């Protein structure tokens, strides 16, 4: 029987990396215009449009990064794991194999 959750790796793109008490989270940058984070200060609440995609309410750091996103996703369903972002596609593939296989 086929696995329910499938490996998903994005093309190289821009991400928000949000570091807070709930850990490091990654949000695709095309979901939230950067105008919402330009005046944000460390330790303050995450701007609402970005917070809609986060477990963190406040953050120590919000940074724009570029990389390959990797997660498990169930095709046709909303089930998925959190994104992790890597510098190379090989690192993304290894992460999925090491973590989920």
Assess contact for 8 and 72: CB atoms under 8 A: yes
In sign, the C-alpha dihedral spanning 7, 9, 19, 30 is: negative
Q: What would the pLDDT profile of 20-52 be if each residue is shown by its tens digit?
A: 999 999 999 999 998 988 899 999 999 999 999
| Global confidence as pTM | 0.90
Reply yes or no on whether the pLDDT at 2 is more than 50. no
Chain centre to alpha carbon of residue 96: 14
Cα gap 68→93, rounded to integer Å: 10
The confidence band for 64, taking pLDDT boundaries of 50, 70 and 90, is very high
For residue 18, give the H/E element and its range: strand 13-20
Please give the C-alpha separations between residue 84 and each of 2, 38, 81, in angstroms, as whole numbers: 24, 23, 9
């Amino acid at each position: 029987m086929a696995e329910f959750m499938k490996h998903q790796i994005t093309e190289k793109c821009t991400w928000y990396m949000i570091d807070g008490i709930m850990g490091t989270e990654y949000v695709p940058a095309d979901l939230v215009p950067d105008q919402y984070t330009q005046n944000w200060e460390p330790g303050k609440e995450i701007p609402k449009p970005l917070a809609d995609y986060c477990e963190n309410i406040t953050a120590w750091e919000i940074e724009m990064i570029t990389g390959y996103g990797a997660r498990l996703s169930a095709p046709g369903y909303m089930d998925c794991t959190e994104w992790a972002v890597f510098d190379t596609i090989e690192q993304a593939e290894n992460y999925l194999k090491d973590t989920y296989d």
